[in-house]
Amino acid sequence: MKAVIFTKYGSQDVLQLAEIEKPAPQADEVLVKIAATAVNPADNHLLSGMLRFSSGLLKPKNQIPGSDIAGRVEAVGRNVTGFQVGDAVFGDISGHGRGGFAEYVAVPESALALKPANISFAEAAAVPMTAVTALQGLRDQGHLQAGQQVLINGASGGVGTFAVQIARALGGEVTAVVSTHKIEMARSLGASHTVDYTQEDFTQTGQQYDLVFDTVGNHSVAACRRALKPAGHFVTTTFLPTLLILGPWISFRDGQKMVNMMAKPNRQDLLFLKSLLETGQVVAVIDRCYGLDEVPQALRYLQEGHAKGKVIVSIS
């Protein structure tokens, strides 16, 4: 099969399109013929060696990156009970050695869910990592309640486009922070208010929110606090080192909760998102599609930091 592999850390230039052996599923695994995969900032972090403490200190332990997959079940191991050959599935395989930038991957059935029938493979591949991150950030870390005011910083990217829609589905009143030419999109996804970050700084407007969900990490902890109500929550998908110390202190002293979050892929949340996709409450916004031989270009484009929704790689 064809796969995009890397054997050393570096820029996107270390990626090579290679012909390698097609995997065979173990007893509890499903072999998926991948139709589409998405690129994520985490793929660029993986390539650069930023994750080397888990991905291999000197060189990558697993040679095929790619976490989000959508495709059809080609074969199942003898202990697999939840899927049959031919089922359309999607999932985040980052906890199982990755391998999404390939024609086939064998993964435990626990990583997968049936694809919503009303969306394409490309749309399904856009969902797992970013939408689960948005869901867990808003619901589990941010404790978003119906009727609350939530601001989403970076509302036009992979995580942000899902966050706007999920916040709305959970009953929040959404303010989206975007650049001028993405205001219309944010409104069409369900934002009631927008802040154009090229004109205005949301931490300086005097407006305060029950929840600030941040996917950019471009403001200090002190600045973000100004945008929080007295018992408000701040959740960032990026990493603000000062929060490690200031977060617990602020919580103890003033009652505001401010955290760096790390999403945990799981099938229950994927099924929750599947129901939102089936009812049309959430849709995948796709910016561009690349081919498998164009994964380096897809990752470079994502790294520029201006994607409008998700960047997809179509495989079969």
Q: In whole angstroms, what separates CA 259 from the centre of its chain?
A: 18
| Amino acid symbol at 189 | L
151 is a site residue for ligand NAP (CB under 6 A): no
What is the rounded distance in angstroms from the CA atom of residue 95 to the CA atom of residue 110? 11
Among 262, 279, 293, 316, binds ligand NAP (CB under 6 A): 262
CB of 314 to ligand NAP, least distance (A): 18
Q: Would you tell me how many other CB atoms lie within 10 Å of the CB of residue 97? A: 14
What is the rounded distance in angstroms from the CA atom of residue 314 to the CA atom of residue 103? 10
Nearest in space to 111 (alpha carbons), one of 86, 91, 127, 94: 91
CA end-to-end span of the chain: 12
CB of 196 to ligand NAP, least distance (A): 9
What is the rounded distance in angstroms from the CA atom of residue 283 to the CA atom of residue 127? 9
Asked if 43 contacts 51 with a C-beta cutoff of 8 angstroms, the reply is no
Binding mask 21-50 for ligand NAP (x = CB under 6 A): -------------------xxx--------
12 is a site residue for ligand NAP (CB under 6 A): no
Q: Which of residues 285-304 bind ligand NAP (CB under 6 A)?
A: 302
129 is a site residue for ligand NAP (CB under 6 A): yes
Q: Which of residues 207-236 bind ligand NAP (CB under 6 A)?
A: 215-216, 218
Q: In this chain, which stretch among 82-90, 92-100, 173-181, 248-256 interacts with ligand NAP, using CB under 6 A?
A: 173-181
183: exposed, middle or buried (C-beta count within 10 Å: 0-12, 13-18, 19+)? middle
CB of 160 to ligand NAP, least distance (A): 5
Among 37, 63, 67, 133, binds ligand NAP (CB under 6 A): 133
What is the rounded distance in angstroms from the CA atom of residue 72 to the CA atom of residue 202? 44
Q: Which residue is nearest to ligand NAP (CB)?
A: 157
Nearer to ligand NAP, 25 or 265 (CB): 265
What is the rounded distance in angstroms from the CA atom of residue 159 to the CA atom of residue 253? 31
Q: In this chain, which stretch among 24-32, 153-161, 225-233, 265-273 interacts with ligand NAP, using CB under 6 A?
A: 153-161
Q: In this chain, which stretch among 83-91, 172-180, 186-194, 203-211 interacts with ligand NAP, using CB under 6 A?
A: 172-180
Asked if 74 contacts 87 with a C-beta cutoff of 8 angstroms, the reply is no
Interface with ligand NAP (CB under 6 A): 40-42, 129-130, 133, 153-154, 156-160, 177-179, 182, 197, 215-216, 218, 237-238, 261-263, 302, 305-308
